[in-house]
Amino acid sequence: MPRHDMTKQNPLLIDGGESPSFHRIAPEHAVPAIEARLSEGRALVSEVSNTSHPSWSSVVTPLEAADDRLGQSWAPIRHLHAVADTPAWRRAYNHCLTLLEAYRTERGQNDALYRLYEALSTHPEAPGYSPAQRKTIEDALREFRLAGVDLCGPDKARFKALSADLAELGSRFGENVLDATQGWRKHLTRPETLAGLPDTVMALARARAEREGREGWLLTLDFPVYSGVMNHALDRSLREEVYEAYVTRASDQSPNAGKWDNAPLIEAILTKRHELARLCGFASYAEYSLARKMADSPEQVRSFLADLARRSKPVAERERADLEEYAREDLGLDSLQAWDVAFAAEQLRQARFSLSQEALRPYFPLPKVLDGLFTVTSRLFGVSITGTAAETWAPEVQCFEIRDRDGERLGSFYLDAFARDGKRGGAWMDECVGRRRTERGIQHPIAFLSCNFAPPVGGGPSLLTHEEVLTLFHEFGHGLHHLLTRVDIAAVSGINGVPWDAVELPSQFLENWCWEEEGLALVSAHVQTGEALPADLIRRLRKARSFMAGMQMVRQIEFALLDLRAHAETAPGTRRSILALHAEVRAEVAVIEPPCYNRFANAFTHIFSGGYACGYYSYKWAEVLAADAFARFEEEGLFDEKCGQAFRQSILERGGSEDAMALFREFRGRAPDIRALLRHRGIDRTAPGQPRG
């Protein structure tokens, strides 16, 4: 079919902020739609680049509109690939990804465009720009610079070569980890060796064996199997064997010593990242990475982590002593080894709280949880949420509309709650349409919320665990950040333009209502009796929240410090091997001494093949922001209206339109304080700000 016909009928080329027409969209529409948008984008970029009188309306406005059209074509493709995957969608998606990546690189290194944005920042109109306009230009200039746009000829070529090398090294690093993970297995035929493993893990191991036409069970290093063994296997030597295989993946240590060794790649990646950062004028890759983040400097992150460690380590040490004693007396383990820690902790958790997530399910039927979630949202932020009819991609998907107190429409969202064949695992929020002002008025935001809860069976509702209730609140928090935005420029509205280390603030923040009695009363109703979660269960749930929190905290800090220091201390001559560095970091913060064959860094994909390079601290950073923001509600009232409005106005409505720290300060009246997080985790019980009555 000729291209123009395809374009005319292509449902992915309809824009204007409408909900996509899911029934009409097929994989064969994807590539032609993206190609059409990209050629439109390229034509526009070259037209705009020739502007002799750059202004907001001659440069930013047309580019923003084109990017938005591209975004509206791409969002349904990305989404359908994630929730209704087929081989055809996967091919179409990957093809589009390659096209988009090339376009992004081209745009980032477009010198003419960069000069136009520079001109705009000093334009006579500039003093009159709104904060959102200023931030849009600042962000764009920063991205150009981080893409090496203003380097001289040879440096620019070197930058490109380094970027290409790093992309390749990163993907080889990930492939080695994957191959090493899949390159180990253990075949077992005697069920007593597997004693203690949960049914789900047994079923996975059984299915693996069956697939290979073997009797018994096949253990692998896939995370569900690995963590199942470490947490539950009664056989200590089995735990030890699986532990050793897991922590030596992609290394020079046995059982697959040297086969997929990532050590040389780590050295190459750190060296090249350092060179790339230096080219762009930064002292280290840590500084380069932080240029996009809320944290100001490596020193600031370092002292943040050191402070957390200083307060958490004594607690972690007490927990370890407690665990050692329990392991000795009750489990007959004379010395607590690295492969005993998770197992002993799980046994102790059961002994102490006898609280199983499964037993909580009857209290959390999904319709009740949703009702409670919407009530919490409405009481906090004064908005109302109602179901609407809209075309979706699967019959069980629901659509909702969100309106302000005065009835003004704010946005809408899809909720795809249940696990299904062809749907990616986990839970996430994604943008379908972003808010912006167009010539026709306001384009309202639309969000996708996806979870993987067990579908309803036997006519009853789907029943959630408490962890799943937290997941729903978490994703909904991201959703509110996208939907309640008041920003009129797409590049900085909703979660766009929000730095990596601040984006988890609204999501983690909203989870807090599921730990409070008043919040739990709104989201729970026993499926048979209608009874809310009883006080005794609430008490146990809250106590279990801080179980081993100190040990978990220092473990996360260890990884974050390793990541930070590996990228900050990279000057030639002073750099230590990653192994030596890790040993130093452990000596500072860890409370468990792993065996000397442990090669954790060799499989640290977050930082060597994912997007977390010098960003692992973000997990803790955002937790501090979320806990401290919630602490204001503890001080002023869990459902205090003024407080809810303040959070809405300072955080949710402003998106990425202003500096994240400035927005936090506006809401809290001061800089973030780590004590709320420590108190919530039971690490520092003496901190002020205890909840009122």
Angle at 392 between CA 503 and CA 64, to 5 degrees: 45
Establish if 450 lies at the interface with Zn ion (CB under 5 A).
Answer: no
Angle at 547 between CA 544 and CA 552, to 5 degrees: 135
Residue 49 Cβ vs Zn ion, minimum distance, rounded to whole Å: 37
Residue 630 Cβ vs Zn ion, minimum distance, rounded to whole Å: 16
Per-residue binding string, Zn ion, 502-531, x by CB under 5 A, is: --x--x------------------------
Residue 507 Cβ vs Zn ion, minimum distance, rounded to whole Å: 4
Q: Considering the candidates 244, 401, 475, 558, report the single residue annotated as catalytic.
A: 475
- Which C-beta is closer to Zn ion: that of 241 or that of 504? 504
- By CB atoms closer than 10 A (0-12, 13-18, 19+), residue 14 is middle
Residue 288 Cβ vs Zn ion, minimum distance, rounded to whole Å: 24
- Which C-beta is closer to Zn ion: that of 507 or that of 556? 507
Specify the stretch interacting with Zn ion by CB under 5 A; choose among 120-128, 231-239, 323-331, 498-506.
498-506
- Which residues in the 93-122 window bind Zn ion by CB under 5 A? none
The identity of residue 552, as a single letter, is Q
CA dist 459 and 551 (Å) reads 43
Specify the stretch interacting with Zn ion by CB under 5 A; choose among 104-112, 463-471, 500-508, 617-625.
500-508
Tokens of 458: 């036997």
CA distances (Å), origin 21, targets 18, 89, 421:
9, 16, 22
Q: Are 240 and 233 in contact (CB under 8 A)?
A: no
- Which C-beta is closer to Zn ion: that of 585 or that of 626? 626
> Cβ-closest residue to Zn ion?
507
Report strand pairing: 409-418 vs 446-453: parallel
Q: How far is CA 97 from the centre of its chain?
A: 20
Residue 479 Cβ vs Zn ion, minimum distance, rounded to whole Å: 11
Closest CA to 607 of 228, 314, 266: 266
SS3 state at 441: strand
Specify the stretch interacting with Zn ion by CB under 5 A; choose among 21-29, 154-162, 497-505, 584-592.
497-505
Q: How many positions of this chain bind Zn ion (CB under 5 A)? A: 2
SS3 state at 593: coil
- Which C-beta is closer to Zn ion: that of 208 or that of 474? 474
- Which C-beta is closer to Zn ion: that of 365 or that of 479? 479
Residue 61 Cβ vs Zn ion, minimum distance, rounded to whole Å: 32
CA dist 352 and 350 (Å) reads 6
Q: Find the helix or strand (DSSP H, E) in which 452 lies.
A: strand 446-453
- Which C-beta is closer to Zn ion: that of 110 or that of 507? 507
- Which C-beta is closer to Zn ion: that of 368 or that of 466? 466
Residue 503 Cβ vs Zn ion, minimum distance, rounded to whole Å: 7
Residue 626 Cβ vs Zn ion, minimum distance, rounded to whole Å: 10
Specify the stretch interacting with Zn ion by CB under 5 A; choose among 112-120, 278-286, 499-507, 649-657.
499-507
Binning the chain into helix, strand and coil, the percentages to the nearest 5 are 60, 5, 35
DSSP states of 166-195 = HHHHHHHHHHHHHHHHHT--EEE--GGGGT
Q: For the chain, how far is it from start to end, CA to CA, in angstroms?
A: 70
Tokens of 168: 């390749």
Beta-bridge mates of residue 453: 418
CA dist 414 and 405 (Å) reads 21
- Which C-beta is closer to Zn ion: that of 136 or that of 618? 618
CA dist 180 and 240 (Å) reads 18
Neighbours of 423 (CB within 10 A): 17
Active-site residue, 244 included: no
CA dist 537 and 354 (Å) reads 10
- Which C-beta is closer to Zn ion: that of 117 or that of 621? 621
Q: Are 551 and 312 in contact (CB under 8 A)?
A: no
Residue 450 Cβ vs Zn ion, minimum distance, rounded to whole Å: 12
Q: Are 376 and 513 in contact (CB under 8 A)?
A: yes
Q: Which residues are catalytic, by number?
A: 475
Chain positions contacting Zn ion, by CB under 5 A: 504, 507
